A and B are shown apart, each in its own frame.
Chain A
Amino acid sequence: MSATLPDIATPVETPPPARPRMFSATGVAGLALLSFLAALAVLGPILVPWTAADRDFEAFLSPPSADHPFGTTPSGGDILVLTLLGLRRSLLIGLVVAVAATTVAALVGAFAGYFLGWVDRTLMWVTDLLLVIPAFLVVAVVSSGQDDWIALVVLLAAFMWMVTAKAVRGAAIAARDREYVKAARFMGVPSHRVVLRHVVPNLASLLVADATVNVSAAILAETSLAYFGFGVVPPDVSLGSLIADGAPTALYAPWTFWWAAGLLIALIVAVNLVGDDLRDRFDPSLRAYA
C-alpha cells in the first residue's frame, strides 16, 4: 500500500498559520459600545437620584436641565432614569429571548437533522407552521391580557427560533457523517446523547453567532409591540414603550423621543457589530467580499 503513495516531503520549516485575531476593529468597537450600554443599564438607575415612580411637580415637560439632564415627561417623570430603566429592560428581553430561542433552535434543528425520517418531517412541519402564522399576531393577541414581561419573553422566543433551527438542521445533517459522530454512534452511545453531547456542541460557533443576531431581532420586535401597547405595560418601561410614549410629543419636545430612540439605535448597532464579527469568524464564506 504505502509503496504506491508518492513520497512527499513534509515541509518542516512551514510556520504555523497565524492565529486569527479575536476581534476585528468593528467587532471591538461594537463590544466596547455594548459593554458601555450594559454598564449604563445596570449602574445608571442606581446612580440617578430620581426613580421611575417619582414625579417632579415643578417641571412638566421641561427641557434638559441640571436637575433633569434628559428633561422630563408631560407628567413630570425624569427621562434619564426612565431611559436607563428602559435600556435595562430592553437589553434583558433581548438577551433572554435570544438565549431561549437559540436553545430551542439548537435542539429542534439537531434532532431533526440527526434522526431525519419522521422525526425530521414532524419537526420541520411544526417549524413551517410557526413560520406561516404571523408571529406578531399571536404575541399581540396573547400578551394583550398579560402584564408579565416573562410571558412576553416566552412568546417572543417561541416565534424566533425557526430560521435558526433550519440552519442548525442543515449543519446537523452534515455532522452526521463526521468521524467523531460515527465513532460515538458505533461505540453504542444512545442517540439522544450523541445529539446533545457531540452534534450540538460542535455547532456552537453557528449558535453563538445566531444568538447574537436574535438579540437585536428580539429588541426590535419588542419595540414594535410596545408601540401598540402590547408587551411591556406601565409602570414597567422598555425603550420601545418610551419611544411610543414620546413619539406624539417629539415635534415640540424632542427630548421625550430622541434619547430613547438614540439609545435603542446605538444598542442595535452595537449588537449587530458584534454579531457580524462573530458570523464572519465562524463562517468565512460570508466574509468573501467584506
Chain B
Amino acid sequence: MVRLVNYTALIVVASSLAWLLAAVTLDPRANYAGRTPAPPAAVVDAALSEVNLNDRDPLLDRYLTWASGLVRGDFGRTWDGLSVGADLAERAGVTLRLVTAGLVAGALIGLTVGTLAAVHHRRWFDRLSGGVVFLLLAVPAVVLANVLILGAIWVNDTTGTRFLMVSGETTTGGLLDRLGHLVLPALTLALPLAAVVSRYQRNTMLDVLNADHVRTARAKGLPRRTVIVKHALRTALIPTSAYLTFTFGALLVGSTVTETVFGRHGLGQRLIAAIRTGDVNTVAAITTVAAVALLLSAVAADVLQRVLNPGRAR
C-alpha cells in the first residue's frame, strides 16, 4: 500500500517534470515559421493557445490546464489539434505487437541457448554461445537493424522472393505479409534480449544444477533428462521470468530505434516526431505511459517471483 502511494507519486512527479522540461525547451511555434505567407502572430498565438501550447501564456496556467486534463484522462492535443490520447492508443497497439513478438522470440532463444549452455557447461556450445553473446552485447541497435536489413536484401535477392520486408507494418494486409514485415524488427529487439537472457538463464541454471534437490533427484536414479527438465529447469525459470516481465515494461519506449529504422509508427517513433514538432503534450503523455508501464512491470515481476517461488507453495 505504501509502495502503491510511492509509485503513484513517482509517476505524477515524473510526468510533471517531463511536461515542464518539454514546455520550457520545445518550440511549437517553429511549425508556423516556415510558412509563406507568414501567418500573423496573433493567429499563431490563438492557434497555439487553443491547444495549450502557447509559450507566451503563463507557464503555471498551462501546467494547470494540462494537469487538470490529465486527471480526467485527457492527454491534451497536438499542435495541429489532434487528440493525443486517441493517437497514442492507436500507436500503443503497433508498439505492443512489435514488443510482444520481440520479447517472445528473445525469451525463447535466450532460454533455450542459456539452458543448453548450462547443461553443456564448459563444452563447445557453452563457449560458442558465450562468444556470440559477448559480440551481440557490443552491437548497438542501429547497427544491428541495418545489418539485418542488408542481410534480408541479400536473402531476398538470392532466393528471388520478397518475403522479408524492411519498412512499415503491412502492404497487402495478409497474415503472411504482416509476418514478413515483423521478422526483422522483432529480431532487432529479440537478439540483444536473447543475449542477456541466455547469460542470465545459464547462471541460474548452473546454480540450480549444483543444488541439493537436483543431486538428490539424480541420486535416486531419475533419468538425466527428467531431472534437467522437471527439477532444474522449472526452478531456474523463476528468476528469468521475473526479469522478462520487467523488460516488457522497459521495452515499450525502448524500441524507439527499431521503430524508426523499420518505419513502424509506434510510441517510440512518435516520441521522436513529437520532439521535432514541439508537441509538449505528446512528449509528456509518452513519458507518463512509459513510467506507468515500467512501474507496473516492476510490480508484476515482483508478484510473479512471489507466486512462483516454490518455498511459498504450502
Contacts and interface: CB of A to CB of B under 8 A. Distances in A.
A138 B283 CA distance: 10
A136 interface: yes
Contacts of B295: 132
Nearest to A223: B140
Interface string A210-226: 00000010001001100
B271 to A, nearest CB: 6
A220 B140 contact: yes
B176 interface: no
Size category of the B interface is 35 or more
Contact of A224 (B21, B141, B206): B141
B155 interface: no
Identify the interface centre among A216, A244, A264: most chain B CB within 10 Å of its CB.
Answer: A264
Interface string B235-273: 000000000000000000110110011000000000110
A289 B287 contact: no
Interface string B139-150: 111110011001
A132 B291 CA distance: 5
A257 B146 CA distance: 9
B25 A144 contact: yes
Interface stretch (A60-68, A109-117, A265-273): A265-273
A217 to B, nearest CB: 11
B89 interface: no
Contact of A133 (B18, B25, B138, B261): B18
A180 interface: no
Size category of the A interface is 35 or more
B253 A137 contact: yes
A152 to B, nearest CB: 14
A26 B247 CA distance: 30
Nearest to B295: A132
A132 B294 contact: yes
A216 B14 contact: no
A240 B146 CA distance: 13
A220 B260 CA distance: 17
Identify the interface centre among A134, A243, A257, A289: most chain B CB within 10 Å of its CB.
Answer: A134
A269 B203 CA distance: 21
Given A141-B275, A272-B134, A272-B137, A134 B142 contact: no
> Which 10 residue pairs spanning A and B have beta carbons closest together?
A268-B138, A223-B140, A269-B138, A227-B142, A261-B143, A132-B291, A289-B206, A247-B146, A132-B14, A134-B290
Interface of B: 6, 10-11, 13-14, 17-18, 21-22, 25-26, 121, 134-135, 137-143, 146-147, 150, 153, 202-203, 206, 253-254, 256-257, 260-261, 271-272, 275-276, 283, 286-287, 290-291, 294-295
Interface of A: 125, 128-129, 131-134, 136-138, 140-142, 144-145, 216, 220, 223-224, 227-228, 240, 243-244, 247, 250-251, 257, 261, 264-265, 268-269, 272, 288-289
Given A141-B22, A272-B137, 12 more contacts: A129-B13, A132-B10, A133-B18, A134-B253, A137-B253, A141-B25, A144-B276, A244-B142, A247-B261, A261-B147, A265-B139, A288-B206
9 contacts: A129-B17, A137-B18, A227-B142, A228-B272, A247-B146, A250-B146, A257-B146, A265-B135, A269-B138
